[in-house]
Amino acid sequence: MTEEQVLRLFKCLSDKSRLRILRSLSKEDMYVERLAQRLDLSPATISFHLKKLEETGAVVSHREQYYIVYSFCPEIFQHTLLEMVQTDSPQESEQEQREADYRKKVIASFMEYGKLKSIPAQKKKERILLEEIAKVFKAGRNYTEKEVNLLIADFYDDFCTLRKDMVAEKLLVRKDGIYRKV
Protein backbone atom coordinates (compact mmCIF):
# COMPACT_ATOMS: atom_id res chain seq x y z
CA MET A 1 0.00 0.00 0.00
CA THR A 2 1.18 3.53 -0.69
CA GLU A 3 1.24 6.20 1.99
CA GLU A 4 -1.71 7.91 0.34
CA GLN A 5 -3.76 4.70 0.40
CA VAL A 6 -2.94 4.17 4.06
CA LEU A 7 -4.01 7.72 4.90
CA ARG A 8 -7.22 7.35 2.95
CA LEU A 9 -8.02 4.07 4.71
CA PHE A 10 -7.38 5.48 8.19
CA LYS A 11 -9.48 8.56 7.45
CA CYS A 12 -12.24 6.39 6.07
CA LEU A 13 -12.29 4.08 9.07
CA SER A 14 -12.39 6.88 11.62
CA ASP A 15 -16.16 7.11 11.32
CA LYS A 16 -18.59 5.15 13.45
CA SER A 17 -21.20 4.66 10.72
CA ARG A 18 -18.63 3.28 8.29
CA LEU A 19 -17.32 0.89 10.94
CA ARG A 20 -20.86 -0.31 11.54
CA ILE A 21 -21.34 -0.81 7.81
CA LEU A 22 -18.10 -2.80 7.60
CA ARG A 23 -19.12 -4.89 10.58
CA SER A 24 -22.41 -5.77 8.89
CA LEU A 25 -20.76 -6.53 5.57
CA SER A 26 -18.14 -8.71 7.24
CA LYS A 27 -21.02 -11.01 8.22
CA GLU A 28 -22.90 -11.02 4.93
CA ASP A 29 -23.14 -9.23 1.59
CA MET A 30 -25.88 -6.60 1.48
CA TYR A 31 -27.49 -3.98 -0.70
CA VAL A 32 -28.06 -0.35 0.30
CA GLU A 33 -31.67 -0.58 1.46
CA ARG A 34 -30.98 -3.60 3.64
CA LEU A 35 -28.03 -1.89 5.28
CA ALA A 36 -30.11 1.27 5.76
CA GLN A 37 -32.81 -0.74 7.49
CA ARG A 38 -30.37 -2.62 9.65
CA LEU A 39 -28.35 0.40 10.74
CA ASP A 40 -31.26 2.84 10.90
CA LEU A 41 -29.66 5.28 8.48
CA SER A 42 -31.07 6.77 5.29
CA PRO A 43 -30.23 4.96 2.02
CA ALA A 44 -28.54 8.18 0.81
CA THR A 45 -26.26 8.18 3.85
CA ILE A 46 -25.45 4.50 3.38
CA SER A 47 -24.64 5.09 -0.30
CA PHE A 48 -22.37 7.97 0.64
CA HIS A 49 -20.43 5.85 3.13
CA LEU A 50 -20.28 2.86 0.80
CA LYS A 51 -18.74 4.96 -1.93
CA LYS A 52 -16.07 6.14 0.49
CA LEU A 53 -15.40 2.58 1.59
CA GLU A 54 -15.30 1.43 -2.01
CA GLU A 55 -12.70 4.09 -2.85
CA THR A 56 -10.33 2.69 -0.23
CA GLY A 57 -10.88 -0.89 -1.38
CA ALA A 58 -12.53 -1.88 1.90
CA VAL A 59 -15.69 -2.98 0.07
CA VAL A 60 -16.50 -4.06 -3.47
CA SER A 61 -19.81 -4.09 -5.28
CA HIS A 62 -21.45 -6.23 -7.93
CA ARG A 63 -24.83 -6.23 -9.59
CA GLU A 64 -27.38 -8.90 -8.76
CA GLN A 65 -30.54 -8.49 -10.83
CA TYR A 66 -31.97 -5.12 -9.74
CA TYR A 67 -29.66 -4.56 -6.81
CA ILE A 68 -26.07 -3.52 -6.34
CA VAL A 69 -24.72 -5.79 -3.65
CA TYR A 70 -21.78 -4.76 -1.49
CA SER A 71 -19.21 -7.15 -0.04
CA PHE A 72 -16.56 -6.81 2.60
CA CYS A 73 -13.07 -6.98 1.14
CA PRO A 74 -10.83 -8.73 3.70
CA GLU A 75 -7.56 -8.40 1.72
CA ILE A 76 -7.00 -4.79 2.69
CA PHE A 77 -7.28 -5.62 6.39
CA GLN A 78 -4.63 -8.30 6.20
CA HIS A 79 -1.92 -5.63 6.27
CA THR A 80 -0.73 -5.15 9.84
CA LEU A 81 -0.79 -1.70 11.39
CA LEU A 82 3.00 -1.83 11.57
CA GLU A 83 3.25 -2.50 7.84
CA MET A 84 0.96 0.43 7.14
CA VAL A 85 2.86 2.77 9.46
CA GLN A 86 6.14 1.77 7.86
CA THR A 87 4.92 2.57 4.37
CA ASP A 88 7.49 4.77 2.65
CA SER A 89 6.53 8.26 1.67
CA PRO A 90 7.68 9.41 -1.78
CA GLN A 91 8.39 12.78 -0.19
CA GLU A 92 10.60 11.30 2.51
CA SER A 93 13.87 12.18 0.80
CA GLU A 94 12.64 15.72 0.17
CA GLN A 95 11.68 16.05 3.83
CA GLU A 96 15.07 14.75 4.88
CA GLN A 97 16.75 17.27 2.63
CA ARG A 98 14.70 20.11 4.06
CA GLU A 99 15.51 18.96 7.58
CA ALA A 100 19.23 18.79 6.76
CA ASP A 101 19.16 22.28 5.26
CA TYR A 102 17.38 23.63 8.33
CA ARG A 103 19.98 22.04 10.63
CA LYS A 104 22.80 23.60 8.63
CA LYS A 105 21.15 26.99 8.85
CA VAL A 106 20.66 26.76 12.62
CA ILE A 107 24.26 25.62 13.16
CA ALA A 108 25.58 28.42 10.96
CA SER A 109 23.51 30.99 12.88
CA PHE A 110 24.49 29.92 16.37
CA MET A 111 28.00 28.58 15.94
CA GLU A 112 31.11 30.33 14.79
CA TYR A 113 34.46 28.62 14.31
CA GLY A 114 33.21 25.62 16.23
CA LYS A 115 32.02 27.65 19.23
CA LEU A 116 28.49 28.26 20.36
CA LYS A 117 27.63 31.96 20.24
CA SER A 118 24.54 31.64 22.45
CA ILE A 119 21.96 29.05 23.48
CA PRO A 120 18.83 29.60 21.38
CA ALA A 121 15.55 30.18 23.17
CA GLN A 122 13.71 27.84 20.80
CA LYS A 123 13.86 24.25 22.02
CA LYS A 124 14.02 22.82 18.52
CA LYS A 125 17.06 24.90 17.65
CA GLU A 126 18.75 24.15 20.94
CA ARG A 127 18.21 20.44 20.35
CA ILE A 128 19.94 20.67 16.95
CA LEU A 129 22.96 22.40 18.50
CA LEU A 130 23.15 19.96 21.40
CA GLU A 131 23.05 17.05 18.94
CA GLU A 132 25.91 18.65 17.07
CA ILE A 133 27.95 19.07 20.23
CA ALA A 134 27.11 15.53 21.38
CA LYS A 135 29.09 14.25 18.39
CA VAL A 136 32.28 14.68 20.48
CA PHE A 137 31.15 11.83 22.72
CA LYS A 138 31.80 8.26 21.68
CA ALA A 139 28.96 5.80 21.97
CA GLY A 140 29.41 3.13 24.60
CA ARG A 141 32.16 4.98 26.48
CA ASN A 142 31.84 6.20 30.08
CA TYR A 143 32.77 9.80 30.91
CA THR A 144 33.31 11.38 34.30
CA GLU A 145 31.71 14.76 34.87
CA LYS A 146 35.12 16.41 34.57
CA GLU A 147 35.72 14.80 31.17
CA VAL A 148 32.30 15.91 30.00
CA ASN A 149 32.96 19.46 31.17
CA LEU A 150 36.32 19.57 29.44
CA LEU A 151 34.86 18.39 26.16
CA ILE A 152 31.89 20.73 26.09
CA ALA A 153 33.74 23.73 27.51
CA ASP A 154 35.39 23.97 24.10
CA PHE A 155 31.96 24.84 22.70
CA TYR A 156 30.55 27.20 25.32
CA ASP A 157 31.76 28.84 28.50
CA ASP A 158 28.62 27.98 30.46
CA PHE A 159 29.33 24.26 30.16
CA CYS A 160 27.19 23.43 33.23
CA THR A 161 24.04 24.58 31.43
CA LEU A 162 25.08 22.69 28.32
CA ARG A 163 25.69 19.51 30.29
CA LYS A 164 22.38 19.75 32.14
CA ASP A 165 20.50 20.46 28.91
CA MET A 166 22.14 17.48 27.20
CA VAL A 167 20.94 15.24 30.01
CA ALA A 168 17.48 16.84 29.91
CA GLU A 169 17.32 16.27 26.15
CA LYS A 170 18.41 12.65 26.74
CA LEU A 171 21.51 13.00 24.61
CA LEU A 172 23.57 11.97 27.63
CA VAL A 173 22.54 9.76 30.53
CA ARG A 174 23.93 10.18 33.98
CA LYS A 175 24.20 7.34 36.48
CA ASP A 176 26.29 7.40 39.64
CA GLY A 177 28.23 10.41 38.39
CA ILE A 178 29.13 8.70 35.12
CA TYR A 179 27.89 9.98 31.75
CA ARG A 180 27.22 7.97 28.62
CA LYS A 181 26.09 9.01 25.18
CA VAL A 182 22.57 7.79 24.36
Partner 1 sequence: MIKQMQEFTNYLLVEKEACTAQADKLCKDSRMDECNLQKIRANIFDIFGTMLSVGCKQSGGDAEKAQQFFLQKLDTIPQSWKISLAAAKQHGDFQKQTAEELKLQTVEQIRKKFAELLEASHD
Tell which one of 23, 38, 51, 123 touches partner 1 (CB under 8 A): 51
What secondary structure does DSSP assign to the chain, as a single string?
--HHHHHHHHHHHS-HHHHHHHHHHHHS-EEHHHHHHHHT--HHHHHHHHHHHHHHTSEEEEEETTEEEEEE-GGGGGS-HHHHHTPPPTTHHHHHHHHHHHHHHHHHHHEETTEE----SSHHHHHHHHHHHGGGSPBT-EEEHHHHHHHHHTT-S-HHHHHHHHHHTTSEEEETTEEEE-
Considering the complex, state which of residue 49 and residue 163 has its C-beta at the smaller distance from partner 1: 49
Considering the complex, state which of residue 44 and residue 150 has its C-beta at the smaller distance from partner 1: 44
49 binds partner 1 (CB under 8 A): yes
Contact region with partner 1 (CB under 8 A), list: 28-36, 44-52, 121-129, 154-162? 44-52
Tell which one of 36, 48, 107, 181 touches partner 1 (CB under 8 A): 48
15 binds partner 1 (CB under 8 A): yes
Shortest Å distance, C-beta 113 to partner 1:
55
Considering the complex, state which of residue 52 and residue 163 has its C-beta at the smaller distance from partner 1: 52
- Contacts with partner 1 by CB under 8 A lie at 14-17, 44-45, 48-49, 51-52
